[in-house]
Amino acid sequence: MRHTITVLVENEFGVLTRVAGLFSGRGFNIESLSVAPTLDPTISRMTIVTSGDDQVLEQINKQLNKLISTIKVIDFTGQDYVEREMAMIKVTATEKTRAEVLRIADIFRAKVVDVTPRTYTIEITGAPSKLEAIIELLRPMGIKELVRSGPIVLGRGSKGWKGTE
């Protein structure tokens, strides 16, 4: 089962390795991981997508909490949250396909951020399923390069965690 976990950690060198090492040392898989500082520059927010059964997830949560550098762990499993991922896709654009690439980008409300005589580079944000859908549509045109950020999430509703709890 897929799980999305947010970990708030001290913004110090080596913390990312501690978290990643925790997963690799126990044979847990990280499907994606995105990390950047929060409003409070001393705290970084990691969004980790992983998979496993309930017991694996319980251990992951406990082990993350056990790290001295961890401030808070939020498991979004079973919660209502907003999820966004960004991708940039460099797709082949020949005379025959240029219009179709633009049409698909338009349908998905993606932006063209770079153009060459042979390619378009498209920027898109959305839920991972949306990104996967556009990738599948563009694949036949010839995708030359693709980069995805991994999802970031925020819980729905008015409650927020600003780092001063």
Interface residue list for other proteins (CB under 8 A):
9-10, 13-14, 17-18, 21, 25, 55, 58-59, 62-63, 65-72
CB of 31 to other proteins, least distance (A): 22
Task: Give whichever of 8 and 124 is closer to other proteins, judged by the CB atom.
Answer: 8
Tokens 């999430």 -> residue: 153
Please state, in angstroms and rounded to a whole number, the distance separating the CA atoms of residues 9 and 16: 9
Q: Quick one: 25 or 157, whose CB is closer to other proteins?
A: 25
Shortest separation between residue 30's beta carbon and other proteins, angstroms: 16
The length of the chain, given as a count of residues: 165
For residue 103, give both structure tokens: 């049409």
Q: Is the Cα torsion angle 95, 99, 104, 105 positive or negative in sign? A: positive
Write down the least CB distance from residue 29 to other proteins, Å.
Answer: 17
Alpha helices in the chain (DSSP H): 15-25, 54-66, 98-107, 128-138
Nearer to other proteins, 2 or 66 (CB): 66
Cα 127 from Cα 97, distance rounded (Å): 26
Nearer to other proteins, 61 or 125 (CB): 61
Cβ of residue 24: shortest distance to other proteins, in angstroms? Answer: 9
**End-to-end alpha carbon distance in the chain:** 30
